Structure 1
Amino acid sequence: MRTIAILNFKGGVGKTVTTATLACLLAKRKKRVLAIDADSQGNLSQYFGVEPTEDDTCTTMELLTSGAGYYPDFVTPTCIDDVDVIPADIRLLAADVDATVRGEAHRDAIESLRLALEEDAGDPDSYDYLLIDCPPALSTACAAALIAADEVIIPIRLDAFSTGGMSNLVFQINNMRRINPRLRVRGVLVTQYTKTEEERQALEVLQNSPLPVFQTVIRFSKRVCAGTFAKMPLVEFSPWCAAAQDYRDLAEEILREDGEGRGKA
């Protein structure tokens, strides 16, 4: 099982769209996926039609504050076959307060869950991928995600503010490697690409940097925004828009690197 955190401290770069879309596309390739919503905005949960109620205890908040426990207790099936989710909502902010008041970071909760999933790897119903949609800040949930992750995917827009924040992001990832030596940057993913001259130049600079960069570039599409109103993963809402087609190429690139690419879904 591969555990991948989708992370950028800059908002609006496509973290949640990337997480939801990759989960759907991997599931179409007969991979079982568990997605963890680690953002208190709960947008990933909403994409999959899962919105916790006030009494719901199957959430990332409970996972962090009570420990992994028996992991199926936290998992909710989604509207997509072979994709399950641990949902989140605004109550996840309480995990940070709880950690501060009690002096506990709850940082090993997702790692404990990952280890429990690894133990079930031989089960036909075990997960192939654990995808974590991280918040745009180094919160309790984000730290727990990086401690559990094997890899980080960094979605980025090619504007001055997003690219300017990369050094801080990479610094924080490298810091987390002192706790989790497995952690590596899988790749920087350019999103919302419009092919302006400024973006072309920024892409060239990025590709010549020491960071790994995905060959796939996700083009800008108005259908991405429309899909958020429909609360549907992009490849379900608008499967043939430019961005959806690019995400298929991304899934193929990831599976090919994992030794399992088999043509487009």
Structure 2
Amino acid sequence: MAQVSTGAGEVLLEARGLGRRFGDFVALDGVSAQFRAGRITAVIGPNGAGKSTFFNLLSGALRPTSGTLLFGGRPIAGLPQHRFAHLGIARSYQITSLFPRLTAHENLRTAMQAFAARYDLWTRRDALRDLAERADALLEAIGLAARRDRPAASLSHGEQRALEIGVALAAAPKLLLLDEPTAGMGPEETKAMVALLRRLSEERTILLVEHKMKMILGLSERILVLHHGRLIADGTPAEIQADAEVRRVYLGQSGGYGHA
């Protein structure tokens, strides 16, 4: 299935009444939202709000028990997860999943090779010569060109997170889903990750789950707030800051917006 072609500002992804049950437990309850191309959107909420379930539905890791999901106007809910990647949806996870003994360059080249080859059992992998050049270009884009030949295990935590985003970018996605990209980072690494996300957003749509509110308010153009599996707010950072319900259930009445 070919990737979706969507212009900047057009609706790229749309959830309509999206829901997910686990037995009698309702993890996500009728969430509807549109995500437009070329924007950075954050999903926030307290623990147990349904953020992970929502992300798993958007990435194809879970199938919804109600509602539907459209990508570029096409229904995709229920498709196998690999079809999401071929359509142009990629995701990085909170837990790093790199090949620790492979170099940064080898990790990216392997990811590109796996996507390019798909089910081609006959093409020699060493014949895909352009992959090495593409991997170098991607290393430059994520700021790791100087770490090209370093094993992934020897990179700093922040560098490993950047490399994992590079792996997600190997398929040249239109939509990038990031699960807590700054988890475990100090101030300097967080600053570097924010700069990377700003650069990447110039060419693709980014949707992320994060807990660092100061970062979210400064980076995102739009914020969705989940609580008990329901969408309780959807707006700009200024609108979210002024929302009394958000302050009550998540941020608190004072000081909550200043946390790093």
Q: Fold conserved (TM > 0.5)?
A: no
Give TM class, smaller chain: 0.3 to 0.5
Could you say which structure has the larger radius of gyration? 2
Q: What is the TM-score when the length of structure 2 is the normalising length? A: 0.34
Select the structure that is richer in strand. 2
Select the structure that is richer in helix. 1
